[in-house]
């Protein structure tokens, strides 16, 4: 008995549109159908016999069957077991937390929000950094073209001498790896910018939340003083030295209602064509509110619509756009799910840098034998995906979601196998926009 695939979802645009959409959440393909066929689609959700249909309706059902939207039985349909069985750890990313100290006291910092009350910060030694780089060189998947070592903190430029020592060592020992750093920009002097310009493969991201009035509400020095002027001084030093950089903007209550204006200001004032918009994450101190996620996601979509015409790249929405356009599901959104290790300042090996404070995702040491491929917790994190989470299989955003943040799920629900609620909202709303955005383009081009 023919029936709609369990992975097919109906998007009804309402009577204002002449068509509705059928979307396959694994094939990532929408088809737009005239509203007159909605009746037979509704019947196909329960299953129907072909002998009750007209010849035109039988032909219609057969076309949907050929496309994989209609199946004769669920048992004959791929239930994603093959996808899950294909998951295997492939190391491509390492975070070197060169220090967990920071000169700023950003009010939404998820790293410091995880620090226990008696937490003691540390600085990484060259011995630990070198050992971490060596482990990554020996165990990274050489077939992956874009392997990266991220210099992270805290504020990594508090350890600038170690940073440059590591950059030189990577260039010498593993030149195919891309070094990346996220910094707050306040320590980038003219001399520092010139030193950074000598490393053409080095990718730099500066954190900046918009104009001073917004930025300084959240991103302040530990002393309580504002940081915007110092960040912009660092940005201008980078521009003067010819150093390309991306900008990382965190959306919180201070700027979430003005995403487009903030992003356009950042693009105009910094000249950067790469702007990453960060959503707040769940922390031991506070869980993200649903209202915030909806506001932030609407702002992200509004900005993306403008940015794509100006050749400005916003990576968060772009990841879902790439999956949607290519038809290739994004089964993991977080590199911690089978692609990443983190080295703490004192040499512990972990899975997720968000767990730096509580150390509940750290599993080894650079001073002891470590096998990324065979570590049982690495393998478990690798399997954590919407493809292996039964509660996700009925979701229309199954193939573009990636599962969000396992660590946040663990904090909020007690298990990393729980659904990341905030990412559900982000993924579903983005998918609906993608479908109807495509519809507008298709119908406009055929008029």
Distance from the first to the final alpha carbon of the chain: 38
CB 87 within 8 A of CB 338: yes
Report the distance separating Cα 317 and Cα 338, nearest Å: 22
What integer pLDDT is reported at residue 76 of this predicted model?
Answer: 54
pLDDT of residue 53: 82
The answer on 16 and 161 residing in a single domain is: no
Tell me the residue range of the domain where 304 lies. 93-375
Rounded to whole angstroms, how far apart are CA atoms 78 and 410? 29
- ω into 154 cis (within 30 of 0): yes
pLDDT attached to residue 370 = 96
Domain's final residue, options 35, 57, 79: 79
Please report whether residue 7 resides in a domain.
yes
- Shared domain for 115 and 10, answered yes or no, is no
DSSP code at position 288:
P
In the listed set 326, 356, 375, which residue is the last one of a domain according to the structure? 375
Q: Is 246 within 8 Å of 275 (Cβ atoms)?
A: yes
Query: Do 230 and 316 have their domain in common?
Result: yes
From the list 214, 309, 202, the residue with the least C-alpha distance to 245 is: 202
Give the per-residue pLDDT at 445. 65
Question: What per-residue confidence (pLDDT) applies to 83?
Answer: 92
CB-neighbour burial class of residue 113 (10 A; exposed 0-12, middle 13-18, buried 19+)? middle
Inside any domain, residue 324: yes
- pLDDT score, position 328: 95
Domain boundary among 344, 360, 375: 375
Q: pLDDT value at position 173?
A: 97
Quote the pLDDT of residue 221: 97
Q: Does 282 lie in the same domain as 184?
A: yes
Rounded CA gap, 330 and 353, in Å?
22
Q: Alpha-carbon distance 257 to 300, whole Å?
A: 11
Do 152 and 241 share a domain, yes or no? yes
Give which of 209, 345, 348, 355 is closest to 275, Cα–Cα.
209
Judgement on whether residues 216 and 340 belong to the same structural domain of the protein: yes
Q: Is residue 86 part of a domain?
A: no
Q: CA nearest 186: which of 213, 223, 150? A: 223
Give the model's pLDDT for residue 74. 58
User: Residue ranges of the chain with pLDDT lower than 70?
Assistant: 73-78, 445-447
Cβ atoms of 429 and 298 within 8 Å: the answer is yes
Contact 166, 127 (CB under 8 A): no
In a domain, 213, yes or no: yes
The C-alpha angle with vertex 61 and arms to 60 and 64, in degrees rounded to 5, equals 90
Do 367 and 310 lie in a common domain? yes
- Same domain for 338 and 209: yes
Residue 351 lies in a domain: yes
What are the backbone angles phi and psi of residue 314, rounded to the nearest 5°? -115, 110
pLDDT at 274: 92
Q: What is the CA radius of gyration of the chain?
A: 24
Residue 248, beta-bridge partner list: 207, 276
User: In terms of domains, do 192 and 288 share one?
Assistant: yes
pLDDT tens track for 220-259: 999 999 999 999 999 999 999 999 999 999 999 999 999 9
CA distance 376 to 338: 11
Q: Are 106 and 219 in contact (CB under 8 A)?
A: yes
Is 410 within the bounds of a domain?
no
Say if 320 falls within a structural domain.
Answer: yes
Whole-angstrom CA distances from 214 to 211, 273, 375 are 6, 21, 44
Q: What is the CATH number of the domain that holds 193?
A: 3.20.20.70
- Per residue in 267-277, pLDDT (tens digit) is 999 999 899 99
My answer on whether 225 and 334 are in the same domain is yes
Q: What is the pTM of this model?
A: 0.92
Same-domain check for residues 245 and 364 = yes
Based on the number of CB atoms within 10 Å of its own CB, is 59 exposed (0-12), middle (13-18) or buried (19 or more)? exposed
Give the C-alpha separation, 320 to 206, whole Å: 23
d(CA 436, CA 300): 16
Predicted local distance difference test score (pLDDT) of residue 92: 98
Phi, psi of 340 (to 5 degrees): -140, 145
Helix (H/G/I), strand (E/B), else coil: 300: helix
Looking at the 3D structure of the chain, how many domains does it have?
Answer: 2
Same-domain pairing of 72 and 191:
no
Residue 69 forms part of a structural domain: yes
């Amino acid at each position: 008995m023919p029936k709609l695939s369990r992975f097919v979802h109906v998007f009804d645009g309402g009577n204002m549109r002449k068509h509705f959409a059928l979307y396959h959440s694994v094939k990532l393909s929408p088809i737009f159908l005239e509203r007159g066929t909605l009746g037979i689609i509704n019947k196909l959700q329960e299953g129907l016999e072909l002998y009750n249909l007209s010849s035109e309706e039988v032909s219609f059902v057969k076309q949907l069957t050929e496309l994989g939207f209609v199946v004769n039985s669920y048992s004959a349909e791929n239930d994603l077991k093959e996808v899950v069985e294909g998951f295997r750890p492939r190391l491509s990313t390492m975070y070197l937390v060169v220090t967990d100290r920071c000169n700023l006291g950003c009010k939404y910092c998820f790293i410091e929000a995880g620090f226990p009350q008696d937490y003691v910060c540390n600085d990484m030694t060259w011995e630990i950094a070198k050992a971490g780089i060596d482990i990554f060189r020996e165990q990274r998947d050489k077939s992956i073209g874009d392997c990266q070592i991220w210099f992270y903190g805290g504020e990594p430029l508090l350890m600038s001498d170690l940073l440059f020592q590591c950059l030189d060592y990577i260039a010498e020992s593993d030149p195919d790896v891309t070094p990346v750093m996220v910094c707050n920009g306040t320590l980038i002097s003219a001399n520092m910018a010139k030193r950074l310009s000598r490393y053409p493969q080095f990718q730099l991201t500066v954190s900046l939340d918009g104009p001073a009035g917004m930025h300084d509400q959240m991103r302040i020095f530990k002393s309580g003083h504002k940081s915007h002027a110092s960040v912009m001084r660092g940005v201008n030093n980078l521009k003067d030295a010819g150093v390309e950089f991306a900008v990382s903007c965190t959306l919180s209550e201070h700027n979430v209602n003005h995403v487009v204006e903030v992003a356009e200001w950042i693009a105009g004032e910094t000249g950067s064509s790469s702007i990453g918009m960060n959503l707040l994450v769940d922390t031991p101190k506070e869980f993200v509110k649903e209202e915030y996620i909806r506001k932030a996601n609407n702002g992200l979509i509004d900005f993306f619509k403008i940015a794509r015409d100006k050749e400005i790249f916003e990576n968060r929405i772009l990841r879902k756009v790439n999956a949607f356009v290519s038809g290739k599901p994004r089964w993991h959104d977080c590199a911690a799910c089978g692609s990443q290790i983190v080295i703490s300042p004192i040499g512990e090996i972990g899975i997720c840098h968000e767990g730096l404070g509580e150390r509940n995702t750290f599993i080894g040491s650079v001073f002891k034998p470590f096998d990324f491929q065979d570590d049982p917790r690495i393998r478990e994190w690798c399997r954590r995906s919407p493809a292996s989470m039964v509660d996700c299989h009925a979701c229309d955003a199954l193939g573009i979601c990636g599962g969000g943040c396992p660590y946040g799920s663990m904090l909020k629900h007690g298990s990393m196998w729980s659904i990341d609620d905030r990412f559900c909202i982000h993924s579903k709303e983005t998918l609906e926009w993608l479908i109807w955005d495509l519809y507008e383009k298709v119908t406009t081009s055929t008029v």
